[in-house]
Structure 1
């Protein structure tokens, strides 16, 4: 981070199929070793399979899954007088999107024994239906924030 001024946000080029920057961010996060076409194939394949099984549009599945996983509140450490408190703070929409992308991809990668498109499809379907590992992570985050509500006055 620079000492003076602020860092400008970069413009994200929308993806080719849905024309949505969030999908482009998801593809970039999914990508390994610069293989963007492989990441696109994995995501689009997973969305198509999930949409077919759920009877919905692929982009609708993606949007609802991302919205369901994004947390509303999280805890941030705050040092006050030698003690570190976990202070609950509201999550901005950009950070919520980032966390939901990160959680969905990490839990899809943690499942073993099947192709990545299958694992991602299952995680997206679970998120769409408000169940699964990434939804549990959001609930744990909310519980942690609720448990530390007493320190909310340390918010900055």
Structure 2
């Protein structure tokens, strides 16, 4: 972390098919070894599959899925007087979106189908319906924050 000046946040380009920055962010999370065309192909085919299954606008379904799977609280370790306490803290909007997208990609990697397009489409649909792997991870994070509410006074 730089001590001299604040870093400027780079602005993402909107994706050319749906015109959403969130889709571009998902493409960047799916991308491996700099192969953006492969990642773009996977994401677009998955969103097309979502559209076929739900008969709704896939970009809006994806946005709703991300909003359903975003965590609002997390636990961070704070060192106070020689002891380390798990302190519940609010998650910023950017970080909560990053968590949701990261969990979506993790869910694709853990699924047994080994077809990234079908897996990603199913994870998006599950998150939209408030079920599945990603929502379970969010609930687990919220439960952990709720369990450590007693240490909330260490927040600063």
Normalized against structure 2, the TM-score is what?
0.96
CA distance in 2, matches of 1:20, 1:45: 16
Quote the residue 2:115 is aligned against.
115
Post-superposition shift, 1:10? 0.9
Q: How far does residue 112 in structure 1 lie from its aligned partner after superposition?
A: 2.6
Tell me, which stretches of 5 or more residues in structure 2 are unaligned?
A: none
Structure 2 residue aligned with 1:80:
80
Deviation at 1:131, TM superposition (A): 0.3
109-118 or 128-137: bigger deviation? 109-118
Are 2:76 and 2:86, in contact at CA under 8 Å, matched by a contact in 1? yes
Structure 2 match to 1:56? 56
SS in 1 for 2:13: coil
2:15 aligned residue: 15
User: Offset of 1:113 from its aligned partner?
Assistant: 3.2
Q: Deviations over 1:73-98 (max 9, x none)?
A: 11111111111111111111101110
Residue matched to 1:141: 141
Distance apart, 1:119 and its partner CA: 0.8
SS of residue paired to 1:34: coil
Structure 1: 4+ residue segments shifted above 2 A: none
Whether the aligned pair in 2 keeps the contact of 1:47 and 1:61 (CA below 8 Å) is: no
- Paired with 1:95 and 1:87, the residues of 2 have a C-alpha distance of 17
- Supply the distance in 1 between the matched residues of 2:38 and 2:89 (Cα, whole angstroms): 37
User: Is the 2:113–2:119 contact (alpha carbons within 8 Å) kept by the matching residues of 1?
Assistant: no
1:107 match: secondary structure: helix
Gaps of 5+ in 1: none
Partner of 2:40: 40
Task: Name the SS for the 1:79 alignment partner.
Answer: strand
Query: What SS does the corresponding residue of 1:48 show, helix, strand or coil?
Result: helix
**CA shift at 1:5, angstroms?**
1.9
Count of residue pairs the alignment pairs up? 156
Secondary structure of 1:95's aligned partner: helix
Structure 1 vs Structure 2 CA RMSD: 1.0
